[in-house]
Amino acid sequence: MNGAESLVRTLLAGGIDTCFANPGTSEMHFVAALDRVPGMRCILGLAEGVVTGCADGYARMAGRPAATLLHCGPGLANGISNLHNARRASSPVVNIVGDHASFHGAFDPPLAADTESLARSVSYWVRTAASVRQVGADAAAAIQAARTPPGRIATLILPADHAWNEGGVPEPAMPVPKPPVPAFQRVDAVAQLLRRGEPTVMVLAGTALSEPGLAAAARVAAASGCELRAMTQVARMARGRGRPAVDRIPYAVDAAVASLAGFRHVVLVGAPRPVAFFAYPGKPSLVTHPEASFHELAHPGEDLVAALQGLAAEVRGQTPNGGGGVRGQTPNGTSGGSNWESAAAVRSLTPNDPVRSLTPNFAQLLARVLPENAVVVDESVSSGRGFFPPTFEAAPHDWLQITGGSIGYGFPCATGAAVGAPDRKVVCLQADGGGMYSLQALWTQARCDLDVVNVVFANRRYRILDGELKAVGAQPGPASSELFDLSRPDLDWVKLANGMGVEARRADTLDRLADVLGAAMRRRGPFLVEWAGA
């Protein structure tokens, strides 16, 4: 067999049966091998950023990597933006990047690039196959690297001649590393800290935000009085009725500093120290109290759930101290008094109440219509900063966010999430500016008949930049008015979606939005709602 066939067989042996692709000439033998070797689902993306964003969303929901197929260095470069987000989300991805034949690069053909350097900017593991016989072994190593906890990006560069030459050897799957349990000394040190009853917040990330992780964290908070926060951007978080209502650290630096000002101890559970997204004149980079001390319960690659369960066992039996705990929860983890003004309104609705009875607030509407076990993919940016509290008591769901801040993530991530979790409704909350970076993902949704409801917040502006301009101390003027504005002409999302094969409707009042969004949640298949009241 040739090298390309050994690669496909090795990917399948390693549990990779989905490939998001945008191939070119250098990948033709891989494409031909996909015809000869059954078992790989191939999904076309019309841009490499869609391909890599799909792989991110797939990994977050499936819990295992997909492969991407990218064309030479420029194709990889086009996909780096969403690989950056995937790296920040600890999503496992195996990139296969076709390259010029090993003898051809010396002639400096037009697509020649320093592909390894491009790959290293977003990859944990990078290798260029050195011979046809090495392709299978390299692919097995790439899969193992990608599945190394907490999840990594591995990039295998495949010269075309090593794909077409005979002599390929497929390799069996290599052992998948398991996340180690944190040292007891760290767990014990945090337990001793919590027993002191000093103002403490635990910052959660990764699998600490899974349902079992949150349950254990809530037990720690109930027993010790510490408070819980999620990172500002979460890769995946279990939320909704019956789950601890943990809020995020705010995005805006002043609000983030205010939310953490009262804590003198910060316990990190798979999370880095809370840092502002950007530097601002006269404002701190770390958003915690200047005298706060940091305590790491578990590293990102360790078993975060086991760490929290061990900590809960250590502090069990203590009574809450200082009125802390989980926001919106009583010590036993059930819903307690409201910490947000709209909670009572949402709870008071019965299944027969009309959606339009809600106050004019999109998040309340979403809480009302979100189906059981849905997946929410959030790139709403400025429109969605307040979405968490009003959706604490929505039906149980998972929430995925843009983790690296590189926009154009929402549509592709939702597309990949729908492939990775085909039995769940996916709801994509997409800012209009970011949506234009990866509009092509709608075509893939239509082609694969994926069950995604896309809500586009059509405020016709890079509205987040209005706040950023003020935050850095600059004044608005003609240039900012021109560069932040998305009108003249207005983007017509209904026509854009229709052009990609996706049915769409526009809503500019809450009544109309309630009707359109409610109907979309009850149907199956891709759909887009342009919310012009954003």
Tens-digit pLDDT profile for the chain (534 aa)? 999 999 999 999 999 999 999 999 999 999 999 999 999 999 999 999 999 999 999 999 999 999 999 999 999 999 999 999 999 999 999 999 999 999 999 999 999 999 999 999 999 999 999 999 999 999 999 999 999 999 999 999 999 999 999 999 999 999 999 999 999 999 999 999 999 999 999 999 999 999 999 999 999 999 999 999 999 999 999 999 999 999 999 999 999 999 999 999 999 999 999 999 999 999 999 999 999 999 999 999 999 999 999 999 999 855 444 334 443 333 333 333 222 233 333 333 333 343 443 334 899 999 999 999 999 999 998 888 889 999 999 999 999 999 999 999 999 999 999 999 999 999 999 999 999 999 999 999 999 999 999 999 998 888 888 888 888 888 889 888 888 888 889 999 999 999 999 999 999 988 899 999 999 999 999 999 999 876
Q: In whole angstroms, what is the distance from residue 187 CA to residue 298 CA?
A: 8
Q: Report the pLDDT value the prediction gives residue 471, as an integer from 0 to 100.
A: 85
Residue 21 pairs in a beta bridge with 44, 69
Q: What is the CATH number of domain 3-164?
A: 3.40.50.970
Residue type, 325: G
Q: Report the pLDDT value the prediction gives residue 534, as an integer from 0 to 100.
A: 67
Q: In whole angstroms, what is the distance from residue 25 CA to residue 249 CA?
A: 46
Q: In whole angstroms, what is the distance from residue 66 CA to residue 58 CA?
A: 7
Q: Where are the domains of the chain?
A: 3-164, 184-315, 361-531
Question: Smallest Cα–Cα separation from 381: which of 326, 433, 315?
Answer: 433
361-531 matches 184-315 in CATH topology: yes
Q: Record the tokens describing residue 9, joined without a space.
A: 């067989």
Burial of 315 (0-12, 13-18, 19+ CB in 10 A): buried
DSSP 409-470: -HHHHHHHHHHHSTTS-EEEEEEHHHHTTSTTHHHHHHHHT--EEEEEE--SB-HHHHHHHH
CB 253 within 8 A of CB 273: no
Q: Report the pLDDT value the prediction gives residue 461, as an integer from 0 to 100.
A: 82
CB 261 within 8 A of CB 364: no
Burial 452-486 (b: 16+ CB within 10 A, else e): bbbbbbbbbbbbbeeebeebeeeeeeeebeeebeb
Q: Record the tokens describing residue 261, joined without a space.
A: 């000002």
CATH topology of domain 184-315: Rossmann fold (3.40.50)
CB 379 within 8 A of CB 430: yes
Burial of 113 (0-12, 13-18, 19+ CB in 10 A): middle
DSSP 239-276: ESTTS--PPBPPSSHHHHHHHHTT-SEEEEES-PPPB-
Burial of 525 (0-12, 13-18, 19+ CB in 10 A): middle
In what helix (H) or strand (E) does residue 34 lie, and over which residues does it extend? helix 28-36
Q: Is the model's pTM score more than 0.85?
A: yes
Q: In whole angstroms, what is the distance from residue 454 CA to residue 520 CA?
A: 9
Q: Does domain 361-531 bear CATH number 3.40.50.970?
A: yes
**Beta-carbon contacts of residue 353 (< 8 Å; ≥ 6 apart):** none
Query: Helix (H, G, I), strand (E, B), or coil: what is residue 223?
Result: helix
Query: Helix (H, G, I), strand (E, B), or coil: what is residue 296?
Result: strand
Question: Smallest Cα–Cα separation from 47: which of 66, 18, 24, 30?
Answer: 24
Using CA of residue 14, residue 18, residue 20, residue 22, what is the dihedral sign?
positive
Q: In whole angstroms, what is the distance from residue 422 CA to residue 43 CA?
A: 14
CB 139 within 8 A of CB 156: yes
Look up residue 134 and give its DSSP letter: G
